[in-house]
Structure 1
């Protein structure tokens, strides 16, 4: 099992493609394991000549979980955010950014193209802020600047996301909750198999079920209040991709991210919500590989 020891924790990672390919690091979102990356999407990246690296963030999947860490409750964190008060976190998004950089160090990679989705986009933004020389390019997908005042998810979606059944839920109940969440945040793509959500929810449960890890990650996201003011310092060539029908992280969040990062290009995708819909994975992959190709060519010019 490929793991590294870094920053006092263990990170699980995998690779696709040839080791001589142009490195491209994928950073997954809140509570999602590396198995959430569609294999056909990664195959497109590999076909374009990339060495694709993916990993489980801390607190999910097969990486270290912070079971003993003390954090603020979600209510306390939201109150602290509202009133400008501090609150306790198990770690910060910068720590998660440092994890990604440590993985590159372990693999002997000086710099890589980086693609982050949702919270992964926030982590990638932190890498661009704190470790600018480690990125060749940045792609922030269905993510946000984190600026105050941006629209959030509707109440019905927030209720589903914070739903915590009492005690330890049964396997069936936990999987059904995850399936329902995926269904609510995703675009109803006709090319998606009918059993896709239940199959993924089941695989994620069997691999590593830890809803409290997702909550600790969410607290870290809420604590990342300085990032919006630092995005203007980013000089990494940046592409921002956002789904037109994203309710979890509304389109205004992607627009604001692109506005704050100098020179960033914004791509709005129809028939996409807070997911990588099967009918759009090839197109999204091409946006990413074309962006990386332009950056590589500009360095050679």
Structure 2
């Protein structure tokens, strides 16, 4: 069975593809992204690690002393060591992208590049213990109608009946996952990336210290990660590239992952050329 033992904690991972580029991702759970990156035209070797605290990975009754994002980042490095990837491309969606930003800041020597999907560090209003959306989902556990409403807000608006139907299916799947969480899973609150930065200027100052190839993929209609936060990262991070989809929101990786693939393929081709 594909378990990784990290100091007595068992973490579940899956592997897809056999290509030369190693891509690693970590999250509470996965849909078809980033496994789709193992298929043509990219054909990478993709590893997905289920974050400790969730699903088939060991659960925890208390948060890690160093914080969830740093702990999950260390778990990613343990997986990379386990599979022999000295350097790799990291990609993540939402909270999974937050893990990548912490890796890029703490361990840039391990990353060939970061691909952040709807996950640049949030706008700051002073409280960095949680995003407003995550806090409301935790507070309303058990109230299915309210959780559905919150995810509608987070996803952003849709224009067409086809988009609305797709959004309904996406949110339905997310809500079904949330209502089956154990108490330990439901209480996990990873907080905002770089919680020590309580202003947007402080976030930008941290981002300016990151120097590696970064691709930022985001939706203009995202109810969690604002376009301004995406542009802040794009302006601040050396060698950053940002692509904003006008008609996408926070669930683009779940709803239309194939829209991300061409941008990632170009980015990885550029990375190979630089190498």
Structure-to-structure mapping, 1:97-116, within 5 angstroms: 97-116=73-92
- Which consecutive unaligned segments of at least 5 residues does structure 2 have? none
The DSSP-based 3-state class of the residue aligned with 1:60 is coil
Residue from 284, 288, 291 that aligns with 2:260: 284
User: How far apart, CA to CA, are the structure 2 residues paired with 1:97 and 1:252?
Assistant: 25
The DSSP-based 3-state class of the residue aligned with 1:137 is strand
Deviation at 1:104, TM superposition (A): 0.5
1:224 aligns with 2:228: no
Change (3 A) 1:115 1:278: closer
Change (3 A) 1:129 1:289: same
Q: Which residue of 1 aligns with 2:175?
A: 201
- TM-score normalised over the length of structure 1: 0.74
Decide whether the 8 Å contact of 2:120 with 2:216 is kept in 1: no
Where do 4+ consecutive residues of structure 1 move more than 6 Å?
none
Q: How many residues align?
A: 262
- Which consecutive unaligned segments of at least 5 residues does structure 1 have? 72-88
Change (3 A) 1:222 1:282: closer
Deviation sequence 1:61-114 (CA, Å, 0-9, x none):
2222221x269xxxxxxxxxxxxxxxxx67342222111111101111111111
User: How far apart, CA to CA, are the structure 2 residues paired with 1:222 and 1:112?
Assistant: 21
1:46 aligns with 2:39: yes
1:34 aligns with 2:10: no
Deviation sequence 1:34-79 (CA, Å, 0-9, x none):
23x326x633542212011111112222222221x269xxxxxxxx
Q: Which residue of 2 aligns with 1:25?
A: 24
Deviation sequence 1:224-275 (CA, Å, 0-9, x none):
3258333222221111111100112211111112222112111111111111
1:244 aligns with 2:213: no
Q: Which residue of 2 aligns with 1:131?
A: 107
User: How far apart, CA to CA, are the structure 2 residues paired with 1:261 and 1:222?
Assistant: 15
Q: Which residue of 2 aligns with 1:80?
A: none
Q: Which residue of 2 aligns with 1:11?
A: 11
Structure scoring higher RCO (CA < 8 A, sep ≥ 6) equals 1
Deviation at 1:196, TM superposition (A): 4.0
Q: Which residue of 1 aligns with 2:209?
A: 233
The DSSP-based 3-state class of the residue aligned with 2:259 is helix
User: How far apart, CA to CA, are the structure 1 residues paired with 2:242 and 2:133?
Assistant: 25
Structure-to-structure mapping, 1:169-184, within 5 angstroms: 169=142, 178-184=147-153
- TM-score normalised over the length of structure 2: 0.80
Change (3 A) 1:193 1:117: closer
